[in-house]
Amino acid sequence: MAKSILITGGARSGKSALAERLVQDIGPDPLYIATAQAFDGEMEDRIGLHQDRRGPEWGLIEAPLDLTGALAQAGTRPCLVDCLTLWLTNLMLAERDWREEADRLAALIGTLPGPVVFVTNEVGLGIVPETPLGRAFRDAAGTLNQQVAGRCDEVFLCVAGQPLKVKPHGS
Interface residues with a copy of itself (CB under 8 A)?
6, 8-14, 42, 120, 122-129, 132, 134-135, 137-139, 141-143, 145-146, 148-150, 155-157, 159-167, 169-171
CB-based contacts of 10: which residues, under 8 Å, 6+ apart? 121, 122, 125, 158
Q: Which residues are marked as active site?
A: 50
Least separation in angstroms between residue 160's CB and a copy of itself is 4
Q: Is 165 annotated as ligand-binding?
A: no
Q: Contact, 70 vs 42, CB < 8 A?
A: no
Q: Which residue type does 125 have? A: L
Q: Is 126 annotated as ligand-binding?
A: no
Strand partners for 167? 155
Task: Give whichever of 71 and 155 is closer to a copy of itself, judged by the CB atom.
Answer: 155
Least separation in angstroms between residue 73's CB and a copy of itself is 26
Task: Give whichever of 31 and 85 is closer to a copy of itself, judged by the CB atom.
Answer: 85
Least separation in angstroms between residue 118's CB and a copy of itself is 11
Q: Is 16 annotated as ligand-binding?
A: yes
Q: Is 13 annotated as ligand-binding?
A: yes
Distances (CA, A) of 132 to 52, 135, 158: 37, 5, 28
Distances (CA, A) of 155 to 21, 29, 53, 91, 119: 15, 23, 23, 24, 10
| Parallel, antiparallel or unpaired: strands 79-82 and 116-119 | parallel
Task: Give whichever of 47 and 73 is closer to a copy of itself, judged by the CB atom.
Answer: 47
Positions at the binding site for GTP: 9-16, 34-36, 62, 82
